[in-house]
Amino acid sequence: SRNANVADFLRVKPQVVFIDARINKPYFHGVQFSYLDFFKEDKRFSELWKKYKYVGETMGVKVYRRKGC
């Protein structure tokens, strides 16, 4: 699933990204998981992610914006 998500991210290059950054995500039943760390393991994602800047957080959701947007 990571490959499909990264391919889509590279194709679309969204201007804004919302990431569930809560420590305890209810659907992981107590297992800590970082979406960002998971996707950064893919070099293609990591390279494109360098163009994003953290802009804020609300209710456990972090918001990132692509530079220049």
Query: Residue 40: is its pLDDT beyond 90?
Result: yes
The average pLDDT across 54-58 equals 96
Note the Cα 68 to chain centre separation in Å: 18
The pTM assigned to this predicted structure is 0.87
3-state secondary structure 8-37: HHHHHCCCEEEEECCCCCHHHCCCCCCHHH
Query: Residue 25: is its pLDDT beyond 90?
Result: no
Question: Residue 46: what pLDDT?
Answer: 97
Question: Residue 53: what pLDDT?
Answer: 98
What does the domain layout of the chain look like in residue ranges?
A: 2-66
